[in-house]
Amino acid sequence: MAQEIIADLNTSLSARDIRQLNEILDWAIFGYKYSTIDQIRAPLWLSSGKLPVQPLERKLKENSGKVFPNLEDGTVSVPSQLPLLASYYSQFKDFLKARNVFRDDTVTSIAILDDGPGNDSIGYETLAWILPHAGDDQYALSIRSLICPDTSIWSNDGQDDQEEYSIESTRNGPIKLSCEGACGKKWTYADDFYVCKSCDRIAFCSNCLEKLKRNRLARWNCRPEHSWLHIPPWKDDNEPGKGMIRVLDEAGSPKEVKISDWIKDLKRIWDIE
């Protein structure tokens, strides 16, 4: 397919251009009904650490009507591409665009949290994956303090009449996540791991991440040029009080605030009514 696209460009491409085109194809950007220029630029930037402002991007733009007949600005139709696109925006501090990529999912997740504690795990876990892509690392880490064996802490504002929910009776209970590296380690609440801020629900243990950074881990769905958020291990002494969530104050020290107040602040940051 790469050669067909190169031929469609109807221009001579350098070896570097061809490598970049193949890089795009490796990310499966083509073959979908809709693509945007930013979807094309994102994998190129994430693979090289800089924007492809050289001949390839210009040629892509000049010939976009021919190479991308269904190119539409602002259209994203493939869920697995969303983290990549949001990460691209957040790396350039365009947090508004990054958040807009996941706005609908964030609104839905917050609505789930407002609907009572029975299904809060869905809302919290979805936000825990979304927020790092949008550059909201501290909010993501705060959410992780609620993904724990004893979910009775989710009850709003510590009200004692809330029914308590528990998904694990032991701090060493398993979580539904395993290392994407060669080890295939399955984690417990007592483990720490690293979440990719560009890939869709990809995490590594420290050993496999170091292999990936040295380009010694063959994984098509993550690259050494990406960045990762370190998720610390769960510790009992870090468990927030009922109806509370752990955050960092301006001095970087941990403190607890009401979950309901934290949600209000998240809505403010994301401009959600």
The full set of domain ranges for the chain reads 1-76, 83-152+172-270
Say which residue, 31 or 156, is predicted with more confidence. 156
Helix residue ranges, H only, 13-136: 15-26, 37-48, 55-62, 64-67, 82-91, 95-101, 103-114, 120-133
- At residue 22, the pLDDT reads 57
Which tokens in the block code for residue 115?
């609907």
The pTM of this model reads 0.69
Q: How confident is residue 21, by pLDDT bands cut at 50, 70 and 90? A: low
Distances (CA, A) of 86 to 22, 25, 26, 134, 220: 22, 19, 19, 6, 19
* Mean pLDDT, range 19-36, rounded to an integer: 49
Portion of the chain with pLDDT greater than 90, in percent: 23
Q: Which of 173, 182, 79, 180 is nearest to 133 (CA)?
A: 79
Q: How confident is residue 82, by pLDDT bands cut at 50, 70 and 90? A: confident
46 pLDDT higher than 80: no
- At residue 146, the pLDDT reads 81
Say how far apart CA 167 and CA 11 lie, in whole Å.
Answer: 59
pLDDT in tens, 102-140: 999 999 999 988 776 667 888 888 999 999 999 999 999
Least confident of 109-123, 160-174, 241-255: 160-174
Say how far apart CA 123 and CA 145 lie, in whole Å.
Answer: 14
Q: What is the mean pLDDT of the chain?
A: 72
Q: Note whether 69 and 111 are within 8 A (CB).
A: no
